[in-house]
Structure 1
């Protein structure tokens, strides 16, 4: 069996095929197995994160500021240079620390696909393995690049362009985490490989991403809480896309910790 790196080199040279309907059907079947459990986990932890976040913000800025809705609509254009640095740094650190939690849903999708048992602790899988640093580094790198550009454009009163750039970066890097946890790639190699993979099938992958966006919009309209039960579809879709590309489902990445394809 070829390594992930070897397969990516083949893809770079020869491309790959991806069937929209097969990927969507596989993602939806996987989603049905994790939707309720993952949705409840998101609901519980959203409440917990909200409480903890409110306590931290109240301790730093004062409880009276939290009662002002304008406090939560920070605009970089109104911040000083130092405050902009703090704003970007805070965004990057928060995203990087939360990313292994999100990666845990990919592990849940992996277990569901193999009819293996999963529970709440599955969500924290990648906080306890050597993948943590690579996930953290990859997310921090992407977030720093995206947040810096979008913040600069917003300061230049080009906020719509900033949003577009952020969406493009997110699109071309959405396979980064699967490449780390399933392909055992290092952070920078995973980011570069994600660009390569997505650039070879941009139309089909864009179509699959649009289905996720539509699902999220429907979930948002369902009294907002519905979005928590449609978000897991994005993880099932990402999982299904990754394994549709590499077509290798035999090895559990947790059993191969430290065996990077680049070594």
Structure 2
């Protein structure tokens, strides 16, 4: 069986085939297995994180500031250079620290696909494995690049362009975390490989991710809370796409020892 690195090199040289309907059906079947459980976890932890965040902000800035809606409408154009730096670094750090939590839902999708048991602790899997550092670094690199560009463009009053560029970066890097946790790649190799893989089938993958966006919109319209139960579709879709591309990747990524030597 070829290693992930060898398969990526083949993809780089020869591309790969991806069937829209097969991937969509696989993702939807996986979603049905995790939707309720993952949605409830997102609901509980959204409330928990919201309470913790409010307490921290109240302790730092004062409770009176939290009652002012303008406090949460931070616009870089109104900040000093030092404040912009803190704003970008804070965004990057928050994203990087939360990324192993999100990766845990991919682990849940992995378990569901193999009819293995999963529970609340599953979403914290990657805070205690060798993958944590690579997930943290990869997310920090992507977030720093994206946040820096979007913040600069917003200061130049080109916020719409900044949003578009951020979405493009997110699209071409959405396979980074699966490549780390399932393929055992290092952060930079995973980012580079994600660009390579997505660039070979951009239209099919864009179509698949568009169905996720449509699901999120429907969830948002369902009294907002419905979005928490449609978000798991994004994890099921990401996992299904990865699994469809690397069909022979059967070993448990938690127990396996991988190497990365992409050139």
In the other structure, the counterpart of 1:262 is 261
User: In 1, distance between residues paired with 2:7 and 2:126?
Assistant: 24
* 1:212 and 2:232 are equivalent in the alignment: no
Once the two structures are superposed, residues 37-74 of structure 1 have per-residue CA deviations (whole angstroms, 9 ceiling, x without a partner) of 00000000000000000000111111110000011110
* 1:239 and 2:236 are equivalent in the alignment: no
In the other structure, the counterpart of 1:48 is 48
Gaps of 5+ in 1: none
Once the two structures are superposed, residues 211-240 of structure 1 have per-residue CA deviations (whole angstroms, 9 ceiling, x without a partner) of 000000000000000000000000000000
Deviation at 1:149, TM superposition (A): 0.2
Q: Counterpart of 1:88 in 2: which secondary structure?
A: helix
In the other structure, the counterpart of 1:87 is 87
* RMSD of equivalent CA atoms: 0.9
Deviation at 1:260, TM superposition (A): 2.1
Superposition misfits of 4+ residues, deviation over 6 angstroms: none
In the other structure, the counterpart of 2:169 is 169
In the other structure, the counterpart of 2:39 is 39
In the other structure, the counterpart of 1:12 is 12
Contact 1:77 1:154 in 2 (8 A): yes
Deviation at 1:250, TM superposition (A): 1.6
Contact 2:185 2:258 in 1 (8 A): no
User: In 2, distance between residues paired with 1:190 and 1:43?
Assistant: 30
Once the two structures are superposed, residues 64-99 of structure 1 have per-residue CA deviations (whole angstroms, 9 ceiling, x without a partner) of 100000111100000000000000000000000000
| Mapping for residues 128-167 of structure 1, pairs under 5 Å | 128-167=128-167
Q: Counterpart of 1:138 in 2: which secondary structure?
A: helix
Deviation at 1:261, TM superposition (A): 3.8
Deviation at 1:138, TM superposition (A): 0.1
Once the two structures are superposed, residues 179-236 of structure 1 have per-residue CA deviations (whole angstroms, 9 ceiling, x without a partner) of 0000000000000000000000000000001000000000000000000000000000
In the other structure, the counterpart of 1:74 is 74
Contact 2:183 2:258 in 1 (8 A): no
Gaps of 5+ in 2: none
Q: How many positions carry a matched residue from both structures?
A: 262
User: In 1, distance between residues paired with 2:135 and 2:179?
Assistant: 10
Contact 1:135 1:180 in 2 (8 A): yes
Contact 1:31 1:232 in 2 (8 A): yes
